[in-house]
Every structure is written in C-alpha cells, then in structure tokens.
Chain A
Amino acid sequence: MAERSIIDQLDDAVTALLAKPAIDWSVEDPAVASLVAIAQELRDLPHEEFRKQLATEFKGENMSTPRMKVDPIPKDYPIVSPYLVFDNAAAAIDFYKKAFGAEERMRFAEPDGKIGHAELRIAGGVILLSDEYPDYGAVSPKTVGGSPVKMHLWVEDVDAFAERAVAAGAKIVRPIEDQFYGDRAGQISDPFGYTWILSMRKENVSPEELQRGMDEWWEQNVSKDSDDRSSESTADTKPAGVHTVTPYITVKQPAELIDFLTQAFGATEKFRTTGSAGGIHAELNIGDSIVMVGGAEHIEAMPTAIHLYVPDVDDTYRRAIEAGATSVMEPMDQPYGERGAGVEDISGNRWYIATTFVPLQEIAKDLRTVTVYFHPIGAQSFIDFVTNAFGGTELMRSATAEGFIEHAKVQIGDSVIELGEARHPSQPLPTAIYMYVKDVDAMYERAVKAGGISMKPPTDQDYGDRSAWVKDPFDNVWYLAAPKTA
C-alpha cells in the first residue's frame, strides 16, 4: 500500500485534534509536525461573524455620541460594486455559492424570506443584491427581459471556473477561448438573466499589439460576420433584405388583412402574386421587417401572434382599433419593461404592440419590429425543438420557480423569436413560418430527426426556391427555403 501523502497525514492529524480538542496531538514527521502545531493553535480561531457583529457595537452610528467619526468609505467594499436585483434572491445566493464559490457575508430578509439586502464575496470582489422592489425601481432581468449590464470577473483558472458554473446551471454564451488581447475568456449566463464575462490573463499585450490583433480579428470575424452566424444555423444564401425567420400569416381573406396592415401598422406591400395553392401570396414591409400574407377561402387559416415593437404604442394601438381591430388590452406600462397593448385583427391574428423602455437592439441585437410570438404547450420542449432542428440559441428566459416559462427569446439565424407557455384560451395559436436556410435538404433532415413531421420533402419550386415543409410537434408549420441558385 502506498504511503499516505503529507497532505493526507496532515489532515488525519487535524481531524483528530478537532475531534478531541483536549488532547495535544503529536506526529513524527517533522514537516507535518510544524503544521499540526499551527493547526492546534487555530482551534481557537474566532468566528468571523462574531468579530464583525461585536465590531458593529462599537461602530460610530451605534455609539450615541453627538459627533460621530466614521470612515466615509468602509474598508470592506470595493469603490464600485454591482447592485443586482433578482426575481428570487435567495435562490440566486444559493446558485452563486455553488457556481462561483461565493461567500454570503450579509443578509437582511423580511419575515417571509424576501431579501431586502444581501452581500456576497465572489473571488475577492463584492456584489450587493436584493429581491425585486418595483416601487423603488428595483426590477430583475426576468421582469425587464434581460440586463444590459454584464459582470466581468477575473479568475485564476477560467476553464475550471466555467465548468463548475455550468455544472451548477449556468449556460455558456461564448466559449472559453484564448483572445487576441492576451486573455483567455468567455461568457456565461446565469439562470437569473445576468451575463458574466470570465477572464484570466495569460500575457500582457502592448497597445500597439492590441490594435494589430484587433485589426486581424476584425478582418477574420466581423467582415464575414453574417456568414458565420448563418453557418451555425441557417441562411447565407438568402436574398438581400430578407431575414431568416419571417411570419407567414395564412388567412381566409388575405386582401382584407393587407388593407388592415397598411392602415393600422403602416405596412407597405412589396408584391402580390398567386401562391402555389391558388391563393394570394404577398410580401409586406412593416418597420424593418418582412411579413408574408397568404391564403384563400379554401385554405386553412393559420393566424399568428406577433410582438410588434413600435415607436409609439398608443398611436399604433389607436390606428389598429380605427382600422377594425378588437382591443385585447389597452396600452399600459408593463412590469417587464415595456408599454404594451394588445389587439386582435379581423382575421384572428393577435398583435402584442409594444414600445420598449430601452432601444430594441439593447434587448437583443436582432430583435425587430415584427417578432413572431409562439405559445406552445410545453415551452421547454419547443425550445429544445428549435434548438435541435434549426440550431436556435436561447437568449433569455423568464420562468417561475416551478419552471413555467413565461417568456423566452430564441435566436435563429439572424432573427429572434419569442415564446411563452400557452395559458390563454386563445392559445396555443400554431402558426406558419417562412425560413431561409443555407441547405434545405440538410435542415429538413435535421428538423425531421428532431421530431418534426414532413409535410413536403425538399422540392425545387418553379418560382426559384428549393423548399420543404415541416410541421413541428406543436403544429407550427415551417416553410424551409433556399434559392435554387445562389
């Protein structure tokens, strides 16, 4: 049997002397013995909380003296610390303990456990945090729909740190990689809507080298950024001006709907033709987005739910009602960070009209005027499906403690879709999506493998596209398309 290592021998001695404090423990190995002697003295090490608590008795504000002399800058705080707000601060503290090895050093809670203020030490830094108090402007990323602020954390071993965080439930947003600026770094998102940039310095890079590295990186990445993104999931062959995900609103009376969209939302019609099934096929611009409208009396309608981001929700809502829509909800400020209203149009499509409190691109880079909103039964399975089938990436989610997904955003190609678990009588409202992909055949195969049902295998169309139709397990129809010749 192998000799026990010095480290184990030491721990044996420590364990024994902690168990029997009255006994003086001795070991023979002199290297270990000197450490055991230290350990023996440490048996009397005071509790840190005791020391701090007693200290507060003697702090200025508790001394009832007329003139209080207090250091204006307490010693145990960095000058700048983030103050983070959580929809469940207690769960967040548990998470950071597990994921980041955080140490809780302060917590003030209401009787029901709601945390009014808490402090954590993380890797030598400090974060301050609380639960949500909307009346005091304290709202969490779950409520607002993301956080524009990211935390940066220096760590000694970035790979090990990230691995542990992921094991505790964090998600990798950007993989840990060597960066041209001398760091090894990556990004993770935690289950509470915050993103953490994790870095470890590997070499010091001079400003000149940094600029050179930046130029090279720009050359390699940004100048062909759109290619890169599409290679992950979808199109680089899509025609200019179109996006990966486009809603295909199928209704019985498309001409009337087009009129409505023009009046209510200022849509402009790009073209109108006869579709493959004999109905109308039209494409319209609304804001920076494209909407396809099609259908006929003999074709089954597939109304759609759309999150319509507009500059002035009250104005758009008024125009929609004047154009014949039914009000579902009058404009009002929403706790999740937008002023929103709801209407149902003459064809049963639901429009969640919204003006966000921050610029749209700060919420998600590719969020656009028209964002399709899915209401699947089983939101998690739906996210899994679009991830597996189309290479979607979850950008954020807002879920209850039980895991009920109230709202989520998923990136597909250059587009963002939104979803929330079905819970309204008018939901799930399955819909149709026109999706430009790089390789129809490959994407079709992948979608079917992920659980999609084939409605039409890949076929060349006489209007120039190669396309395939897949129905997902939630009854949404995805028209996968790529131009026949690039």
Chain B
Amino acid sequence: MSQITESEERLLIEAAQKDPSRFAELYEQNFHRVYAYVARRVRDRAETQDLTAHVFQQALANLGKFKWRGTPFAAWLYRIASNAIADQARRKTREGGDQVEMVSDSSAAQDLEQVERRARLFGAVDTLPEDQRRVIVLRFAEEKSIRDIAEELGRSEGAIKQLQFRGLENLRNRLGEN
C-alpha cells in the first residue's frame, strides 16, 4: 500500500465519482485501513470480512454524496464502518444472539493511530521476501501450525520457524522506518 498525497486522493475520489470503475483504486488504497479498523472492534474473522465488504459496498453506493472538506477519505470510511458495526450489534441483540464482541474504545485519536499503524503493518507483509511473506500469511492469516506450513512448503519445521523469525524482524524494522 503506497501512501498517496491529499491531492492525489482527491483526484482519485473525483475520478471514481464520475466513473465507478475507478473505485478499485480507492479500495486498494484503503483496504487495510478499513479491515484493521473493523478487526480491532470485531474479533471474529468472518464477521470482520462481512463488515469490511459492507463498508466498501456502502462507500461505493454513496460515493456521489461524499463532499471533499479536507478530511481524509479514510475518515469517511471509518464512519461508515463504525455505523455498520453498531447496526450489526443492535441486530444481534434483537435476534437474541451473542453481542458482537466489542473491543474497548480508547481515545479516538489514539485508536486511529493504532489502526493506521496496523494497516501499514499489513501492507508491509506484501513487501516481504516471498518465502517470508508466505510463512507469515499462512501462520497468521490462515492460522496454520508450523508443522502444517512445513509440510505445505516442503521445508523443515526449523526452516519455517526461522522464516517466521526473519519475517517478524523485517516487519518490525519496516514499521520502525516509518
């Protein structure tokens, strides 16, 4: 995820308002942010995915209403996400099911800083050397054991642990550089 400037973002939004097929670029720019925002509040992975998809669908449907006022596009997406999460929680309560697991909301600014950091972290995973990237993805996104990963990649468990270590080290360093 490359960072874009405010004016670039504005151009992207205007382009997408005229031609919805340009929305894909806004999606790519903001996917990790929205996902991280939702994931911090909703622990369940399937629900996080549903809500993330919903946020982008809503954003696309309402893009024409978006007015540029100098606040980042992401803030608008966070608002949509926040509403969607609240709606979901209300619906669940009505249905008598479990409440959506809400994670404590600390001060908003600090929270958004965390979300941005996490979005950068997710984006950084894409930039890892291929073998490290795969181990990180299999281990954390797919929650596979070291043994399963070793089998899938045809390498020793020691080698996988080593790649996990190097991958995390690289991610830490990349976050530090920002």
Q: Which of A's residues lie within 8 Å of B, judged by CB?
A: 6-8, 10-11, 14-15, 18, 21-22, 34-35, 38-39, 41-48, 50-51, 54-55, 57-60, 63, 65, 67-70, 97-99, 101, 103, 121, 123-124, 164, 167-168
Contact = CB atoms under 8 A, between A and B. Distances in A.
Interface string B43-56: 10100110011001
9 nearest A-B pairs in the assembled complex, by CB-CB distance: A44-B39, A60-B21, A42-B140, A35-B168, A58-B24, A45-B141, A45-B140, A63-B21, A7-B165
Nearest to A47: B141
A164 B152 CA distance: 13
Interface stretch (B27-35, B80-88, B91-99): B27-35
Interface residues of B, number: 53
B57 interface: yes
A416 to B, nearest CB: 34
A331 B11 CA distance: 66
A63 B40 contact: no
B28 A38 contact: no
Given A34-B172, A58-B23, A58-B24, A6 B165 contact: yes
Interface string B93-133: 00000000000000000000000011001100100001100
A50 B137 CA distance: 13
B10 interface: no
A41 B43 contact: no
A44 B40 contact: yes
Given A18-B143, A54-B52, A101-B154, A44 B20 contact: no
B21 A48 contact: no
B67 interface: no
B77 interface: no
Interface in B129-178: 130-131, 134, 136-137, 139-143, 145-146, 152-155, 161-162, 164-165, 168-169, 171-172, 175
B27 A58 contact: yes
B118 A44 contact: yes
Contacts of B13: none
11 contacts: A14-B139, A38-B121, A43-B140, A45-B137, A50-B49, A57-B57, A58-B60, A63-B20, A63-B21, A65-B19, A101-B134
A43 B164 CA distance: 14
Contacts of A6: 165
B154 A7 contact: no
Nearest to A44: B39
A10 B164 contact: yes
Given A10-B164, A18-B143, A57-B57, A42 B121 contact: yes
A48 B141 contact: yes
Contacts of A70: 21
A8 B165 CA distance: 9
Contacts of B146: 11, 15
Nearest to B40: A44
Main SS class of interface, B:
helix
Contacts of B22: 69
A48 B168 contact: no
A97 B134 CA distance: 13
A124 B130 contact: yes
A45 B20 contact: no
Given A11-B146, A38-B121, A45 B136 contact: yes
A167 B161 CA distance: 22
A48 B137 contact: yes
Contacts of A99: 154
A10 B168 contact: yes
Given A10-B165, A44-B118, A123-B130, A54 B154 contact: no
A34 B39 CA distance: 21
Interface of B: 19-24, 27-28, 31-32, 35-36, 39-40, 43, 45, 48-49, 52-53, 56-57, 60, 117-118, 121-122, 125, 130-131, 134, 136-137, 139-143, 145-146, 152-155, 161-162, 164-165, 168-169, 171-172, 175
Given A10-B168, A38-B171, A57-B57, 14 more contacts: A7-B162, A14-B164, A38-B168, A38-B175, A41-B117, A41-B118, A46-B141, A47-B142, A51-B31, A55-B27, A59-B21, A65-B21, A101-B154, A164-B154
Contacts of B48: 44, 46
Given A10-B164, A103-B134, A41 B121 contact: yes
Contacts of B52: 46, 50, 54
A68 B21 contact: yes
Nearest to B144: A18
A22 B131 CA distance: 29
Contacts of B140: 18, 39, 42-43, 45
A69 B21 contact: yes
B36 A44 contact: yes
Nearest to A54: B53
A59 B24 CA distance: 6
B106 to A, nearest CB: 14
Contact of B154 (A14, A22, A168): A168
A70 B21 CA distance: 8
Contacts of B142: 47
Contacts of B60: 58
A11 B164 contact: yes
A67 B22 CA distance: 10
Contacts of A69: 19, 21-22
A97 B139 contact: no
A54 B51 CA distance: 12
A45 B122 contact: yes
A57 B28 CA distance: 12
Nearest to A10: B165
A34 B176 CA distance: 11
Contacts of A57: 53, 56-57
